[in-house]
């Protein structure tokens, strides 16, 4: 099982949208399990009505959601932790420092992955396919169109595709050209007009569409 944990502040808008929109991109029986939590969230059932409205407009399912706070246990148990902004990635690392190489922002992870996933050394060299084709076909900042990342999924066994990609992206973090920190964040729509929330959701939808392909989305046990 590949657990992908999205983190925002209140677990009300951004991380909820990422969790449920990623779920719409995965095939039945996928080994990828989207989850979410918030750095300042508290346990409460039900989804915010404005979040649910934009989620359902984009084809997601808002039923059965419960907000929850971010914990060290959640971070430690995740295959991949994706903050919606840098502060969320940093909060996850503070809770579970050993998980640092598995913690990114959502846009950072996609940016590094589609820029070309390199070799990962794990006893022997393993290579996932060159994802530069995806980078040529997608602008993550706009996130309005998503390229075909099937080359990545096809290049490795479904069972370990996610671990290989996560390790490869972690290896690129120190070598890829830097970008201004704000470019890897998705702005908080809290208290903003409904169109701002909707555009936030569209940006997240584009990013998680690519993420689903990068992680393989294969069937689980």
Sign of the CA dihedral with 209 first, then 188, 3, and 159 last: positive
pTM of the model: 0.81
Which residues lie below 8 Å from residue 137, measured CB to CB, with a gap of 6+?
Answer: 145, 146, 147, 148
What whole-number distance in Å separates Cα of residue 58 and Cα of residue 73?
A: 31
What are the tokens at 147? Answer: 């390229």
**Which residues are identified as catalytic?**
8, 14, 122
pLDDT, tens digit only, all 221 positions of the chain: 899 999 999 999 999 999 999 999 999 999 999 999 999 999 999 999 999 999 999 999 999 999 999 999 999 999 999 999 999 999 999 999 999 999 999 999 999 999 854 333 233 333 333 343 333 322 332 333 333 444 343 333 444 678 889 999 999 998 998 899 999 999 999 999 999 999 999 999 999 999 999 987 654 44
């Amino acid at each position: 099982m590949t657990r992908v944990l999205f983190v925002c502040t209140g677990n009300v808008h951004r991380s909820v949208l990422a969790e449920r929109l990623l779920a719409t991109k995965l095939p039945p029986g996928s080994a990828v399990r989207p989850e979410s939590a918030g750095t300042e969230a508290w346990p409460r059932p039900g989804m915010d009505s404005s979040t649910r409205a934009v989620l359902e407009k984009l084809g997601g399912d808002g039923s059965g959601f419960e907000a929850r706070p971010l914990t060290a246990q959640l971070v430690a148990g995740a295959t991949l932790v994706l903050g919606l902004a840098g502060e969320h990635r940093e909060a996850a690392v503070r809770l579970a420092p050993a998980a640092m190489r598995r913690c990114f922002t959502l846009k950072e992870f996609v940016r590094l992955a589609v820029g070309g996933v390199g070799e990962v050394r794990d006893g022997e060299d393993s290579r996932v396919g060159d994802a530069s084709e995806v980078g040529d076909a997608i602008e993550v900042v706009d996130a309005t169109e998503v390229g075909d990342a099937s080359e990545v999924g096809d290049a490795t066994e479904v069972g370990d595709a996610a671990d290989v990609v996560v390790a490869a992206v972690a290896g690129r973090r120190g070598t890829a050209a830097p970008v201004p920190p704000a470019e890897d964040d998705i702005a908080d729509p809290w208290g903003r007009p409904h169109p701002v929330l909707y555009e936030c959701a569209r940006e997240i939808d584009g990013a998680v569409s690519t993420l689903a392909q990068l992680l393989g989305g294969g069937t689980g046990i």
